[in-house]
């Protein structure tokens, strides 16, 4: 039986968070601030999803209208 289960659980959480942050540099920069990390460490997955969604929206909005019409028409 593990006597230091809370420590092991924190280590697993830390490793999982680091893996997510490797794929999301914007969220990683934001989480580098200790105050941000303190309040949002358990929401890293949601923050990363929001960041990805916003980046996709910006990319979509920055495309020329003609390119979008070509894709819609096939």
**So what's the pLDDT on residue 33?**
92
Cβ–Cβ < 8 Å for 23, 17:
no
Query: pLDDT for 27-52, tens place per residue?
Result: 888 889 999 888 887 888 888 888 88
CA distances from 15 to 18, 20, 33, 52 (A): 5, 9, 18, 21
Confidence class for position 62, pLDDT limits 50, 70, 90: confident
DSSP state of 41: G
Domain ranges (residues) in the chain = 5-73
Name the average pLDDT for the chain: 80
Q: What's the average model confidence in pLDDT over 15-28? A: 84
């Amino acid at each position: 039986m593990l006597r230091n289960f809370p420590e092991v659980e924190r280590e697993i959480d830390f490793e999982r968070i680091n893996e997510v942050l490797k794929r999301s540099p914007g969220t990683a920069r934001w989480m580098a601030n200790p105050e941000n990390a303190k309040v949002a460490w358990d929401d890293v997955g949601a923050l990363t999803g929001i960041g990805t969604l916003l980046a996709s929206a910006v990319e979509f909005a920055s495309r020329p209208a003609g390119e979008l019409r070509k894709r819609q028409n096939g």
